[in-house]
């Protein structure tokens, strides 16, 4: 699996979870639950972006190290 494929899968999963949470939140009439799902979605998105950028930095570093 390439780096971009992993990033794509993570983004899709985060979107699935977030849409499930927001659907659950709109089913219950509480506005605070809606805010919580929005926060959760933003948190997941940031996590995915951070993880993918961190992964690319690690893989770049690994390529920089000459094989002995």
Q: What is the DSSP-derived secondary structure letter of residue 46?
A: H
Answer with the residue of higher pLDDT: 57 or 10.
Answer: 10
Q: How far is CA 63 from CA 28, 49, 66, 67, in A?
A: 50, 21, 7, 9
Q: How many CA atoms lie within 13 A of 51 on its CB side?
A: 15
Q: What is the pTM of this model?
A: 0.36
At residue 30, the pLDDT reads 58
Are the C-beta atoms of residues 65 and 54 closer than 8 Å to each other? no
Q: Which of 59, 61, 41 is nearest to 49 (CA)?
A: 41
DSSP string, 6-30: HHHHHHHHHHHHHHHHHHHHHHS--
Question: Residue 43 has what pLDDT?
Answer: 92
Q: Could you report the per-residue pLDDT of 25-66, keeping only the tens digit for each? A: 666 655 666 677 888 899 999 988 888 877 766 566 666 666
Q: Identify the residue with better confidence: 42 or 21.
A: 42
């Amino acid at each position: 699996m390439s780096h971009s494929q992993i990033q794509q899968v993570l983004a899709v999963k985060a979107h699935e979870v977030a849409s499930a949470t927001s659907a659950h939140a709109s089913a219950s009439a509480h506005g605070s639950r809606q805010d919580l799902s929005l926060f959760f979605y933003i948190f997941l998105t940031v996590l995915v972006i951070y993880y993918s950028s961190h992964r690319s930095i690690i893989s770049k570093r690994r390529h920089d190290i000459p094989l002995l």
